[in-house]
Every structure is written in C-alpha cells, then in structure tokens.
C-alpha cells in the first residue's frame, strides 16, 4: 500500500520541521513543506499530494482559511486545518468537502 502524501503548510520553520518529522514517524510521506498560501497553491500543483495539512493562521496575503478554500475549489483535495501553539501540534479545524466545519 502506498503512503499517503501530505503537503504541510506552516509559516513557522521550526514547527514545520517538527510536523514533518512526526508525519514521517507515523508512516506518511511529506510531499513538500511550504510557508505561505501562495506557496501552498504552487506546491499542490507541483507535488500533487493526497491531503493538505494547513496552518489556519498563516501570515501574508492569504491566511490558511482562504488558502484552504482555493485548494478545495481548484484541486478538490481534502484540507485539514490546524492551529499550533508553541511546539504542540493540534488538529482543530477540518475543512470538509461540503463546507467548513469548525471545532475546538
């Protein structure tokens, strides 16, 4: 069985490295790590991941919510939104196919 390919979108480099390492340890393939919404769109087109793990509080022109919407519309890929606090990784806000679902 092939490993799921995940694109990581995280604007904090140390946290992005930690997430990448954790995903690899769990048996996933990290297709790419990008640091902005614009890079995420280019990364999805280039790497063709199975899933996008998105920091919803991205800095820059596009935040994670806006970027996730574009990824869903343009590429029809599942996007899992997350908020990081320090070095803790917490999956918080899955963005579902039929719309957004928020949780705590």
Give the residues of the chain that fall short of pLDDT 50. 86-104
Asked whether the beta carbons of 8 and 50 are under 8 A apart, the reply is no
Q: In sequence order, which ranges of the chain are alpha helices (DSSP H)? A: 13-25, 37-47, 64-75
Domain extents for the chain? Answer: 5-93
Q: Is 102 exposed, middle or buried (0-12, 13-18, 19+ CB in 10 A)?
A: exposed
Which numeric CATH code is attached to 5-93? 3.40.50.2300
pLDDT score at 90: 41
pLDDT score at 60: 87
Cα separation values, 54 from 1, 63, 72, 78, Å: 25, 10, 12, 10
User: Is the overall model pTM greater than 0.85, yes or no?
Assistant: no
């Amino acid at each position: 069985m092939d490993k799921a390919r995940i694109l990581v979108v995280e604007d904090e480099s140390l946290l992005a490295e930690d997430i990448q390492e954790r995903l690899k340890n769990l048996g996933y393939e990290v297709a790419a790590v990008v640091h902005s919404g614009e890079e995420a769109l280019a990364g999805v087109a280039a790497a063709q991941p199975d899933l996008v793990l998105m920091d919803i509080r991205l800095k820059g022109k596009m935040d994670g919510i806006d970027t996730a919407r574009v990824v869903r519309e343009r590429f029809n890929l599942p996007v899992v939104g997350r908020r990081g606090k320090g070095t803790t990784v917490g999956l918080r806000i899955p963005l579902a196919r039929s719309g957004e679902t928020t949780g705590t």
